[in-house]
Amino acid sequence: MKLFLYSIAIPLGVMVSPETLVLLGNSAGYNGMIFYVSVATAAAVSCMCAYCIFYPGRQADEENEVSLLAKAMGRFPAAALVLSARLSVTLLVATSVLVTAGFAFNEIFLYWFPNFGFAFLLLGFILAFNIIDKSWASSFQLLLLTCTLASFSVLLCAGLSSSPSTNTAIQASELTSPAAASGALLLFLGFDLILNSQVKNKLLPAVAAICTIFTLFTLWGAVSRAYVPSSSLIESTLPHLKAARAIMGQNGRLLMGVIVICGATAAVNGLFLYLGQTACALAEQGVIPRFKGEKTLHRLASILMSVTIGILMMSGLAGEDKLTIYYRGALVLWLVVLTFRCFTSACFSSSSKSFSAVALTIGTIIGLLSIVLVAAAEHTREQLIFCLHVYVCALLLMLIWPGTVKLFSAINR
Protein backbone atom coordinates (compact mmCIF):
# COMPACT_ATOMS: atom_id res chain seq x y z
CA MET A 1 0.00 0.00 0.00
CA LYS A 2 2.82 2.38 0.94
CA LEU A 3 4.62 1.69 -2.33
CA PHE A 4 1.39 2.19 -4.24
CA LEU A 5 0.84 5.59 -2.59
CA TYR A 6 4.42 6.65 -3.35
CA SER A 7 4.08 5.59 -6.97
CA ILE A 8 0.78 7.42 -7.48
CA ALA A 9 2.07 10.60 -5.80
CA ILE A 10 4.33 11.63 -8.71
CA PRO A 11 1.71 11.54 -11.50
CA LEU A 12 -0.94 13.09 -9.27
CA GLY A 13 1.47 15.84 -8.21
CA VAL A 14 2.17 16.77 -11.84
CA MET A 15 -1.53 16.66 -12.74
CA VAL A 16 -2.61 19.08 -9.99
CA SER A 17 -0.09 21.76 -10.96
CA PRO A 18 -1.46 25.34 -11.15
CA GLU A 19 -1.05 25.33 -14.95
CA THR A 20 -3.44 22.39 -15.20
CA LEU A 21 -5.94 24.18 -12.95
CA VAL A 22 -5.92 27.19 -15.29
CA LEU A 23 -6.46 24.94 -18.31
CA LEU A 24 -9.27 23.13 -16.48
CA GLY A 25 -10.99 26.35 -15.40
CA ASN A 26 -10.83 27.87 -18.87
CA SER A 27 -12.12 24.65 -20.48
CA ALA A 28 -14.98 24.42 -17.97
CA GLY A 29 -16.26 27.75 -19.26
CA TYR A 30 -17.08 26.31 -22.65
CA ASN A 31 -20.24 24.42 -23.55
CA GLY A 32 -20.97 22.11 -20.61
CA MET A 33 -21.65 18.90 -22.48
CA ILE A 34 -18.53 19.30 -24.63
CA PHE A 35 -16.46 19.93 -21.49
CA TYR A 36 -17.65 16.74 -19.78
CA VAL A 37 -17.37 14.64 -22.94
CA SER A 38 -13.89 15.93 -23.76
CA VAL A 39 -12.60 15.32 -20.21
CA ALA A 40 -14.13 11.80 -20.18
CA THR A 41 -12.65 11.04 -23.63
CA ALA A 42 -9.23 12.37 -22.60
CA ALA A 43 -9.35 10.19 -19.46
CA ALA A 44 -10.28 7.14 -21.54
CA VAL A 45 -7.49 7.81 -24.08
CA SER A 46 -5.00 8.29 -21.22
CA CYS A 47 -6.10 5.00 -19.62
CA MET A 48 -5.71 3.18 -22.93
CA CYS A 49 -2.32 4.80 -23.47
CA ALA A 50 -1.24 3.65 -19.99
CA TYR A 51 -2.47 0.16 -20.88
CA CYS A 52 -0.38 0.20 -24.07
CA ILE A 53 2.85 1.37 -22.46
CA PHE A 54 2.54 -0.45 -19.12
CA TYR A 55 0.82 -3.65 -20.30
CA PRO A 56 1.96 -6.07 -17.59
CA GLY A 57 3.07 -9.14 -19.56
CA ARG A 58 4.71 -7.07 -22.29
CA GLN A 59 7.37 -5.08 -20.55
CA ALA A 60 10.49 -6.85 -19.44
CA ASP A 61 11.86 -5.71 -16.09
CA GLU A 62 15.05 -4.34 -17.54
CA GLU A 63 13.29 -2.29 -20.18
CA ASN A 64 12.66 1.41 -19.79
CA GLU A 65 11.15 4.09 -22.00
CA VAL A 66 14.48 4.87 -23.66
CA SER A 67 15.44 1.27 -24.40
CA LEU A 68 12.01 0.51 -25.83
CA LEU A 69 11.97 3.58 -28.04
CA ALA A 70 15.57 2.88 -29.09
CA LYS A 71 14.43 -0.42 -30.63
CA ALA A 72 12.14 1.46 -32.98
CA MET A 73 13.91 4.73 -33.58
CA GLY A 74 17.55 4.01 -32.98
CA ARG A 75 19.54 4.84 -29.84
CA PHE A 76 20.36 8.50 -30.44
CA PRO A 77 17.06 9.74 -31.92
CA ALA A 78 15.13 7.96 -29.14
CA ALA A 79 17.37 9.28 -26.38
CA ALA A 80 17.18 12.77 -27.86
CA LEU A 81 13.37 12.64 -28.00
CA VAL A 82 13.02 11.51 -24.39
CA LEU A 83 15.65 13.94 -23.14
CA SER A 84 14.22 16.92 -25.03
CA ALA A 85 10.69 16.22 -23.77
CA ARG A 86 11.62 15.52 -20.15
CA LEU A 87 14.17 18.32 -19.85
CA SER A 88 12.04 21.00 -21.48
CA VAL A 89 8.95 20.04 -19.47
CA THR A 90 10.87 19.96 -16.19
CA LEU A 91 12.62 23.28 -16.76
CA LEU A 92 9.65 25.19 -18.15
CA VAL A 93 6.96 23.74 -15.88
CA ALA A 94 9.17 24.42 -12.87
CA THR A 95 9.89 28.02 -13.93
CA SER A 96 6.23 28.64 -14.61
CA VAL A 97 4.61 27.02 -11.57
CA LEU A 98 7.19 28.16 -9.02
CA VAL A 99 6.69 31.77 -10.05
CA THR A 100 2.91 31.22 -9.87
CA ALA A 101 3.33 29.80 -6.36
CA GLY A 102 5.42 32.84 -5.46
CA PHE A 103 2.64 35.18 -6.58
CA ALA A 104 0.04 33.12 -4.69
CA PHE A 105 2.05 33.33 -1.47
CA ASN A 106 2.69 37.05 -1.88
CA GLU A 107 -0.87 38.00 -2.78
CA ILE A 108 -2.81 35.54 -0.60
CA PHE A 109 -0.69 34.95 2.50
CA LEU A 110 2.17 37.39 3.07
CA TYR A 111 1.95 40.66 1.20
CA TRP A 112 5.43 41.80 2.25
CA PHE A 113 7.22 38.59 1.22
CA PRO A 114 8.76 38.88 -2.26
CA ASN A 115 7.20 36.49 -4.74
CA PHE A 116 10.50 35.56 -6.37
CA GLY A 117 12.04 34.99 -2.94
CA PHE A 118 9.33 32.46 -2.19
CA ALA A 119 9.77 30.76 -5.59
CA PHE A 120 13.50 30.34 -4.85
CA LEU A 121 12.72 29.11 -1.34
CA LEU A 122 10.49 26.37 -2.75
CA LEU A 123 13.16 25.44 -5.29
CA GLY A 124 15.68 25.22 -2.46
CA PHE A 125 13.42 22.90 -0.45
CA ILE A 126 12.87 20.63 -3.44
CA LEU A 127 16.60 20.50 -4.18
CA ALA A 128 17.45 19.79 -0.53
CA PHE A 129 15.04 16.84 -0.31
CA ASN A 130 16.28 15.40 -3.61
CA ILE A 131 19.91 15.73 -2.55
CA ILE A 132 19.43 14.20 0.91
CA ASP A 133 17.71 11.11 -0.42
CA LYS A 134 15.09 10.06 -2.92
CA SER A 135 13.00 8.56 -0.11
CA TRP A 136 12.86 11.99 1.58
CA ALA A 137 11.73 13.55 -1.67
CA SER A 138 9.09 10.81 -2.07
CA SER A 139 7.75 11.39 1.45
CA PHE A 140 7.73 15.15 0.81
CA GLN A 141 5.77 14.46 -2.38
CA LEU A 142 3.16 12.47 -0.47
CA LEU A 143 2.80 15.23 2.13
CA LEU A 144 2.33 17.89 -0.56
CA LEU A 145 -0.22 15.79 -2.36
CA THR A 146 -2.16 15.12 0.84
CA CYS A 147 -2.37 18.88 1.54
CA THR A 148 -3.47 19.58 -2.04
CA LEU A 149 -6.14 16.89 -2.18
CA ALA A 150 -7.43 17.67 1.33
CA SER A 151 -7.84 21.37 0.48
CA PHE A 152 -9.50 20.46 -2.81
CA SER A 153 -11.90 18.11 -0.99
CA VAL A 154 -12.94 20.84 1.47
CA LEU A 155 -13.61 23.26 -1.38
CA LEU A 156 -15.52 20.65 -3.35
CA CYS A 157 -17.65 19.65 -0.36
CA ALA A 158 -18.45 23.30 0.33
CA GLY A 159 -19.27 23.89 -3.33
CA LEU A 160 -21.47 20.82 -3.67
CA SER A 161 -23.28 21.24 -0.36
CA SER A 162 -24.36 24.85 -0.84
CA SER A 163 -25.89 26.70 -3.73
CA PRO A 164 -24.37 29.74 -5.43
CA SER A 165 -25.67 33.13 -4.31
CA THR A 166 -25.99 34.35 -7.89
CA ASN A 167 -27.55 32.40 -10.72
CA THR A 168 -24.78 31.79 -13.24
CA ALA A 169 -26.78 29.28 -15.25
CA ILE A 170 -28.59 31.97 -17.20
CA GLN A 171 -25.24 33.34 -18.30
CA ALA A 172 -24.02 29.93 -19.40
CA SER A 173 -22.07 30.17 -22.58
CA GLU A 174 -22.73 27.93 -25.54
CA LEU A 175 -19.28 28.64 -26.87
CA THR A 176 -17.31 25.69 -28.16
CA SER A 177 -13.61 25.41 -28.84
CA PRO A 178 -11.92 22.47 -30.62
CA ALA A 179 -8.61 23.56 -29.06
CA ALA A 180 -10.10 23.49 -25.56
CA ALA A 181 -11.66 20.09 -26.23
CA SER A 182 -8.42 18.55 -27.55
CA GLY A 183 -6.50 20.31 -24.76
CA ALA A 184 -8.36 18.13 -22.25
CA LEU A 185 -5.70 15.49 -22.90
CA LEU A 186 -3.14 17.82 -21.28
CA LEU A 187 -5.08 17.57 -18.00
CA PHE A 188 -3.96 13.96 -17.63
CA LEU A 189 -0.33 14.35 -18.71
CA GLY A 190 1.83 12.81 -16.03
CA PHE A 191 0.19 9.38 -15.78
CA ASP A 192 3.30 7.83 -17.33
CA LEU A 193 5.61 9.11 -14.57
CA ILE A 194 5.72 5.92 -12.50
CA LEU A 195 9.12 5.12 -11.02
CA ASN A 196 10.63 1.70 -11.83
CA SER A 197 11.74 1.10 -8.27
CA GLN A 198 8.32 1.56 -6.75
CA VAL A 199 5.94 -1.00 -8.23
CA LYS A 200 6.24 -3.86 -10.68
CA ASN A 201 2.81 -3.37 -12.20
CA LYS A 202 2.83 0.27 -13.33
CA LEU A 203 -0.56 0.07 -15.01
CA LEU A 204 -2.53 0.06 -11.76
CA PRO A 205 -1.11 3.30 -10.26
CA ALA A 206 -1.31 5.02 -13.66
CA VAL A 207 -5.01 4.16 -14.08
CA ALA A 208 -5.72 5.01 -10.42
CA ALA A 209 -4.10 8.44 -10.91
CA ILE A 210 -6.15 9.08 -14.07
CA CYS A 211 -9.42 8.03 -12.37
CA THR A 212 -8.70 10.19 -9.31
CA ILE A 213 -7.96 13.22 -11.45
CA PHE A 214 -10.98 12.57 -13.67
CA THR A 215 -13.30 12.53 -10.65
CA LEU A 216 -11.68 15.57 -9.06
CA PHE A 217 -11.57 17.67 -12.24
CA THR A 218 -15.09 16.77 -13.39
CA LEU A 219 -16.51 17.78 -10.00
CA TRP A 220 -14.38 20.92 -9.88
CA GLY A 221 -15.47 21.82 -13.41
CA ALA A 222 -19.12 21.39 -12.45
CA VAL A 223 -18.71 23.45 -9.26
CA SER A 224 -16.80 26.17 -11.12
CA ARG A 225 -19.56 26.38 -13.72
CA ALA A 226 -22.18 26.63 -11.01
CA TYR A 227 -20.48 29.47 -9.13
CA VAL A 228 -18.70 31.53 -11.81
CA PRO A 229 -20.19 32.81 -15.09
CA SER A 230 -18.84 30.89 -18.08
CA SER A 231 -17.48 33.96 -19.84
CA SER A 232 -15.55 34.85 -16.70
CA LEU A 233 -14.08 31.33 -16.50
CA ILE A 234 -12.95 31.46 -20.13
CA GLU A 235 -11.33 34.89 -19.87
CA SER A 236 -9.73 34.56 -16.45
CA THR A 237 -6.05 33.80 -15.99
CA LEU A 238 -6.87 32.42 -12.53
CA PRO A 239 -10.27 30.72 -12.93
CA HIS A 240 -9.63 28.32 -10.01
CA LEU A 241 -9.06 31.22 -7.62
CA LYS A 242 -12.25 32.91 -8.82
CA ALA A 243 -14.25 29.74 -8.24
CA ALA A 244 -12.70 29.18 -4.78
CA ARG A 245 -13.55 32.74 -3.77
CA ALA A 246 -17.09 32.39 -5.06
CA ILE A 247 -17.57 29.18 -3.05
CA MET A 248 -16.04 30.05 0.32
CA GLY A 249 -15.02 33.70 0.16
CA GLN A 250 -11.70 34.55 1.84
CA ASN A 251 -11.39 31.03 3.29
CA GLY A 252 -11.77 29.61 -0.20
CA ARG A 253 -9.04 31.93 -1.39
CA LEU A 254 -6.73 30.70 1.36
CA LEU A 255 -7.49 27.06 0.56
CA MET A 256 -6.83 27.65 -3.12
CA GLY A 257 -3.56 29.33 -2.14
CA VAL A 258 -2.56 26.12 -0.37
CA ILE A 259 -3.58 24.08 -3.43
CA VAL A 260 -1.55 26.29 -5.79
CA ILE A 261 1.57 26.31 -3.61
CA CYS A 262 1.47 22.60 -2.70
CA GLY A 263 0.45 21.64 -6.24
CA ALA A 264 3.30 23.66 -7.78
CA THR A 265 5.85 22.16 -5.38
CA ALA A 266 4.49 18.64 -5.94
CA ALA A 267 4.70 19.09 -9.71
CA VAL A 268 8.34 20.22 -9.62
CA ASN A 269 9.38 17.66 -7.01
CA GLY A 270 7.64 14.91 -9.00
CA LEU A 271 9.39 15.93 -12.22
CA PHE A 272 12.75 16.01 -10.40
CA LEU A 273 12.15 12.50 -9.05
CA TYR A 274 11.26 11.18 -12.48
CA LEU A 275 14.08 12.99 -14.26
CA GLY A 276 16.55 11.10 -12.05
CA GLN A 277 15.15 7.88 -13.46
CA THR A 278 15.35 9.20 -17.04
CA ALA A 279 18.99 10.15 -16.45
CA CYS A 280 19.70 6.59 -15.29
CA ALA A 281 17.90 5.16 -18.34
CA LEU A 282 19.99 7.39 -20.62
CA ALA A 283 23.16 6.37 -18.80
CA GLU A 284 22.25 2.70 -19.31
CA GLN A 285 22.06 3.40 -23.03
CA GLY A 286 25.53 4.93 -22.84
CA VAL A 287 24.38 8.29 -24.14
CA ILE A 288 25.20 10.23 -20.96
CA PRO A 289 28.02 9.64 -18.46
CA ARG A 290 27.17 6.95 -15.91
CA PHE A 291 28.96 8.55 -12.90
CA LYS A 292 28.84 6.59 -9.66
CA GLY A 293 25.50 4.91 -9.28
CA GLU A 294 21.89 5.91 -9.52
CA LYS A 295 21.83 8.11 -6.41
CA THR A 296 24.74 10.27 -7.55
CA LEU A 297 23.19 10.69 -10.98
CA HIS A 298 19.87 11.70 -9.41
CA ARG A 299 21.59 14.26 -7.18
CA LEU A 300 23.60 15.67 -10.08
CA ALA A 301 20.49 15.91 -12.26
CA SER A 302 18.63 17.70 -9.43
CA ILE A 303 21.46 20.19 -8.93
CA LEU A 304 21.77 20.87 -12.65
CA MET A 305 18.01 21.32 -12.98
CA SER A 306 17.82 23.68 -9.98
CA VAL A 307 20.68 25.84 -11.23
CA THR A 308 19.12 26.07 -14.70
CA ILE A 309 15.65 26.84 -13.29
CA GLY A 310 17.21 29.50 -11.05
CA ILE A 311 18.93 31.08 -14.06
CA LEU A 312 15.70 30.97 -16.08
CA MET A 313 13.77 32.66 -13.26
CA MET A 314 16.44 35.31 -12.76
CA SER A 315 16.63 35.99 -16.49
CA GLY A 316 13.00 37.10 -16.32
CA LEU A 317 11.62 34.36 -18.57
CA ALA A 318 8.54 34.10 -16.35
CA GLY A 319 7.72 37.72 -17.10
CA GLU A 320 7.67 37.09 -20.83
CA ASP A 321 4.76 35.83 -22.91
CA LYS A 322 7.02 33.38 -24.74
CA LEU A 323 7.20 31.16 -21.64
CA THR A 324 3.66 29.98 -22.36
CA ILE A 325 4.60 29.24 -25.99
CA TYR A 326 7.65 27.22 -24.92
CA TYR A 327 5.72 25.51 -22.15
CA ARG A 328 3.01 24.39 -24.57
CA GLY A 329 5.72 23.25 -27.00
CA ALA A 330 7.29 21.13 -24.27
CA LEU A 331 3.90 19.51 -23.57
CA VAL A 332 3.55 18.71 -27.28
CA LEU A 333 6.97 17.00 -27.16
CA TRP A 334 5.67 14.97 -24.22
CA LEU A 335 2.64 13.91 -26.30
CA VAL A 336 5.02 12.95 -29.14
CA VAL A 337 6.93 10.70 -26.70
CA LEU A 338 3.65 9.03 -25.70
CA THR A 339 2.71 8.60 -29.37
CA PHE A 340 6.01 6.88 -30.15
CA ARG A 341 5.80 4.74 -27.01
CA CYS A 342 2.40 3.46 -28.18
CA PHE A 343 3.74 2.78 -31.68
CA THR A 344 6.77 0.98 -30.22
CA SER A 345 4.48 -1.16 -28.06
CA ALA A 346 2.46 -2.04 -31.13
CA CYS A 347 5.48 -2.96 -33.24
CA PHE A 348 7.71 -4.69 -30.70
CA SER A 349 5.16 -6.51 -28.63
CA SER A 350 4.95 -10.24 -28.32
CA SER A 351 1.27 -9.83 -27.48
CA SER A 352 -1.74 -10.39 -29.67
CA LYS A 353 -2.63 -8.60 -32.88
CA SER A 354 -5.57 -6.96 -31.13
CA PHE A 355 -3.17 -5.36 -28.61
CA SER A 356 -1.04 -4.02 -31.47
CA ALA A 357 -4.15 -2.61 -33.15
CA VAL A 358 -5.21 -0.86 -29.94
CA ALA A 359 -1.70 0.56 -29.40
CA LEU A 360 -1.55 1.81 -33.00
CA THR A 361 -4.99 3.43 -32.68
CA ILE A 362 -4.18 5.15 -29.38
CA GLY A 363 -0.82 6.32 -30.72
CA THR A 364 -2.53 7.75 -33.78
CA ILE A 365 -5.18 9.51 -31.68
CA ILE A 366 -2.58 11.13 -29.41
CA GLY A 367 -0.47 12.09 -32.43
CA LEU A 368 -3.47 13.69 -34.16
CA LEU A 369 -4.46 15.55 -31.00
CA SER A 370 -0.92 16.95 -30.73
CA ILE A 371 -1.22 18.22 -34.30
CA VAL A 372 -4.60 19.84 -33.48
CA LEU A 373 -3.10 21.46 -30.39
CA VAL A 374 -0.19 22.93 -32.34
CA ALA A 375 -2.41 24.02 -35.24
CA ALA A 376 -4.98 25.65 -32.94
CA ALA A 377 -2.30 27.43 -30.87
CA GLU A 378 -1.97 31.18 -31.10
CA HIS A 379 1.72 30.92 -32.01
CA THR A 380 1.91 27.75 -34.10
CA ARG A 381 5.13 28.69 -35.89
CA GLU A 382 7.02 29.65 -32.73
CA GLN A 383 5.84 26.49 -30.99
CA LEU A 384 7.04 24.29 -33.85
CA ILE A 385 10.38 26.10 -34.04
CA PHE A 386 10.82 25.63 -30.29
CA CYS A 387 10.10 21.89 -30.50
CA LEU A 388 12.51 21.45 -33.42
CA HIS A 389 15.25 23.49 -31.73
CA VAL A 390 14.99 21.54 -28.50
CA TYR A 391 15.03 18.19 -30.31
CA VAL A 392 17.96 19.12 -32.56
CA CYS A 393 19.94 20.45 -29.57
CA ALA A 394 19.28 17.23 -27.64
CA LEU A 395 20.30 15.16 -30.65
CA LEU A 396 23.55 17.11 -31.06
CA LEU A 397 24.24 16.68 -27.35
CA MET A 398 23.66 12.94 -27.70
CA LEU A 399 26.12 12.78 -30.56
CA ILE A 400 28.78 14.68 -28.62
CA TRP A 401 28.35 12.78 -25.37
CA PRO A 402 29.76 9.37 -26.39
CA GLY A 403 33.16 11.05 -26.34
CA THR A 404 32.41 12.35 -22.86
CA VAL A 405 31.31 8.88 -21.79
CA LYS A 406 34.61 7.40 -22.96
CA LEU A 407 36.48 10.14 -21.14
CA PHE A 408 34.60 9.47 -17.89
CA SER A 409 35.09 5.72 -18.27
CA ALA A 410 38.82 6.32 -18.62
CA ILE A 411 38.83 8.57 -15.55
CA ASN A 412 36.80 6.07 -13.49
CA ARG A 413 39.20 3.29 -14.43
Partner 1 sequence: MKKLVLLFAFMIPLGAANVWSDDLIMDKDALNAMLAAPDLVILDVRTGKDWSSSEFKIKSAERAPAAEYADWSASYSKDKTLVLYCA
In the complex with partner 1, which residue's Cβ is closer, 205 or 257? 257
The nearest distance, CB 110 to partner 1, in angstroms, is 13
Shortest CA distance to 100 belongs to which of 207, 8, 16? 16
Q: Pick from 237, 350, 352, 354 the residue near partner 1 by CB under 8 A.
A: 237
In this structure, which long-range contacts are made by residues 305-308, counting pairs with CB atoms below 8 Å and at least 24 apart in sequence? 305/90, 305/91, 305/94, 305/272, 305/275, 306/123, 306/124, 306/126, 306/127, 308/91
Interacting residues of 277 by C-beta distance below 8 A, sequence separation 6+: 64, 195, 196, 197, 298
Helix axes 203-227, 2-15, angle to 10 degrees: 40
In the complex with partner 1, which residue's Cβ is closer, 237 or 354? 237
The nearest distance, CB 242 to partner 1, in angstroms, is 9
Q: In angstroms, rounded to a whole number, what is the distance separating the alpha carbons of residues 376 and 373?
A: 5
Q: Is 96 in the site for partner 1 (CB under 8 A)?
A: yes
| Contact set for partner 1, span 13-42 (CB under 8 A) | 22
* Helix and strand element counts for the chain (H, E): 15, 0
Indicate the burial class of 147 (C-beta count within 10 angstroms; 0-12, 13-18, 19 or more). Answer: middle
The nearest distance, CB 21 to partner 1, in angstroms, is 12
Q: Is 254 in the site for partner 1 (CB under 8 A)?
A: no
In the complex with partner 1, which residue's Cβ is closer, 107 or 294? 107
The nearest distance, CB 238 to partner 1, in angstroms, is 6
Q: Is 238 in the site for partner 1 (CB under 8 A)?
A: yes
The nearest distance, CB 101 to partner 1, in angstroms, is 9
In the complex with partner 1, which residue's Cβ is closer, 50 or 108? 108
Q: In angstroms, rounded to a whole number, what is the distance separating the alpha carbons of residues 191 and 216?
A: 15
Quick note: the x/- pattern for partner 1 over 316-345, rule CB under 8 A, is -xxxxxxxx---------------------
**Angle CA 19–24–29, to nearest 5:** 130
Helix (H) or strand (E) holding 254, with range, is: helix 239-284
In the complex with partner 1, which residue's Cβ is closer, 96 or 339? 96
The nearest distance, CB 355 to partner 1, in angstroms, is 43
Q: Write out the residues near partner 1 by the rule CB under 8 A.
A: 22, 96, 99-100, 103-104, 107-108, 237-238, 241, 317-324
